[in-house]
Amino acid sequence: MLNLFVRCIVIYFFLLIAMRLMGKRQLGELQPFELAITLVASELACIPMSDPTIPIIYGIIPVFTLFVVHIIITKLASGSLRFRKLLNGKPIVVIEKGNLLPDVLKELNMNIDDMLESLRSSGYFNPGEVEYAIIETNGSMTVLPKSQFKPLTPSDVSLKTEPADMPVTIVMEGNFMGANMKGLPDVGKERVLKLLDTLGMKQSDVLLLLVTGNEVFVQPYVGDSMTVAFPREEENK
C-alpha cells in the first residue's frame, strides 16, 4: 500500500512538472495536438499507478517522450507557417456580414445551439448584433459586432484619457505579497496597515487588497468590497 502511495505521488509531481513546462494554456485554449498529448500523457501516467507490478519508469519515460515531442512540434510550428496551418488548421468564418453560414456549421459539426452558446460566451445573446463570427483554431469564437452595437469608447467622443495602471495585489487571504510590494516603493506595509486601521480592519480581515495607481480596492472576508483613495505620504505622517 505504501509503495502504491509513493508511486502515485512521484508520477503526479513528474506529470505536473511536465505540464507546467509545456505552457500555461487553459484546457479550452489548447490546440488539437496539445490536447492529444495531454490526454495521452495522463493515460500513460495512470498505468504504473494502477498496477504496482509495472516499474514506475514505464510511466515516466513515455511522459518524458511526449514532452520532448511537444517541444519539437511547438518549435516547428513556430518556425513554419505552413506546418502550423497543417497542424492547427485555420480560423473559419461562421457569420459573415450578419448572415449565418449553415453549410460551414455542418462542416464543423456544429449546430445552431452550439453557435448560440459560443455567442453568449462572447457576450452576444442576439446573432443580429454580430457582423462577423470566427471559430478559432482552438475552438473558441471571436466576434466582431455590428458598428451600431459596438461599445462606446472614449475615442468615439474625443475624450482624453490617462494611461491605465496595472492593479497590483498587496494582500491576499490575509498575507502581504512582499514580492509585489518591491515594485511599488511608495506603498509600504506600514501605510497599508494604517489605511486598514482607518477602515476598521486588520490584516487578517482582508481577503484581497489591490493597489491601482492612487486607488485601493479592498475585499474583506466579511462585508462589502470598497474602493478608496490611497492616502498621500504626508497624510500618513
* pLDDT more than 90, % of the chain: 36
pLDDT band at 126 (very low <50, low <70, confident <90, very high): very high
CATH topology of domain 92-149: CRO Repressor (3.30.240)
pLDDT computed for residue 28 by the predictor: 54
State the amino acid at position 117 in one-letter form. Answer: E
Q: What is the pLDDT of residue 145?
A: 95
Q: What is the pLDDT of residues 8-63, one digit of tens each?
A: 777 777 777 776 666 555 445 566 677 777 778 777 777 777 777 788 787 788 87
Residues of each domain in the chain carrying CATH 3.30.240.20: 92-149
Claim: this prediction has a pTM higher than 0.75:
no
Task: Return the C-alpha torsion angle 151, 152, 153, 154, nearest 10.
Answer: -160
Query: What share of the chain has pLDDT > 70, as a percent?
Result: 89
Compute the average pLDDT of residues 82-107: 90
- pLDDT for residue 129 is more than 90: yes
| Confidence at residue 226, expressed as pLDDT on a 0 to 100 scale | 94
The CATH T-level fold of domain 168-236 is: CRO Repressor (3.30.240)
